[in-house]
Structures are given as C-alpha cells and as structure tokens.
Amino acid sequence: MAEQLVIRVTAMPTDLNPYGGVFGGWLMSQLALGAGSLASRIGQGKAVVVHASDFTFPGAMAVGDELSVFAQLIARGRTSLTIAARGEGRERNGETVVEVARGPFKFVLLGEDDRPRAIDQAE
C-alpha cells in the first residue's frame, strides 16, 4: 500500500514548547491521529494504539507552519496493523518543506465488545 496524505493542519501558538518551537508531543499526537485514521479504514472499525516507538524529529516547525501527515501500512497481523507515519512541515509563507517527525504505530482492531477481532471480520 502506498503512502497516503491523512491529515493537514496548521501549528498554532498552543502547540508550542517553552522554547517557541512546535512541541514534539503535538507532532506525535498528529501522527497518531493520522495513522489511526488509516488503521480504521483498513480494518473497517475501531482501531486502538497498543505500541508506538522509535520516533525521530529531524526538523523543526514554527507557529503558522502547515503540517502534512502521511501514513502507510507496513505490517499486518491477525488482529493488528502497523502503520508508519511521517510528518512534513511547510513554512507558512513559502514552499519550503522539511520532514519534522517520523515513527511507527501498532494498532489492534476491536469488535463491538471492545475485544480484539480479526482484520477480515468487518463490522
């Protein structure tokens, strides 16, 4: 499955760290939202994060910059999906783009009883 654009959002003043840059936790949450969106579409139902690791933050964003989140399925288990998420920041008043965050998320698909269900069991 090819990488897909899943979220585009503008960094606001409430998303900054004490040093004036965009907070890494906000970037991770945006990647998680985008990866979760793709996991829910693939799994056709509820998908919850059970593991996230190996995050890198190779670039920086400023308030007003636009974040684009891309996601791609990289592994499939019986009840789980692993989604790679990547964020690119575009400067507010230009076209310069830099990768600002990257990391994988593992999701487990849940049924109506909130217990793990097989991927091919569409709700």
Pairwise CA distance, residues 82 & 113, whole Å: 22
Structural domain includes residue 27: yes
> How many other CB atoms are there within 10 angstroms of residue 117's CB atom?
20
Q: How many structural domains are present in the chain?
A: 1
Q: Residue 75: inside a domain, yes or no? A: yes
- Tokens 């009840």 label which residue? 79
pLDDT value at residue 14: 96
Question: How high is the pLDDT of residue 121?
Answer: 56
Domain contains 122 = no
Q: Is residue 25 included in any domain, yes or no? A: yes
Residues of the chain with pLDDT under 50: 122-123
Asked if residue 123 belongs to a domain, the reply is no
pLDDT at 85: 98
Please give the Cα distance from 20 to 63 (Å, whole number). 8
Q: Domain containing 71: what range?
A: 4-110
Residue 92 DSSP one-character state? T
Domain assignment present for 21: yes
Query: Does 105 reside within a domain?
Result: yes
Residue at 121 is within a domain: no
**Backbone phi, then psi, for 16, in 5-degree steps?**
-95, 155
Q: What is the pTM of this model?
A: 0.92
pLDDT of residue 120: 79
Give the CATH number of the domain where residue 61 resides. 3.10.129.10
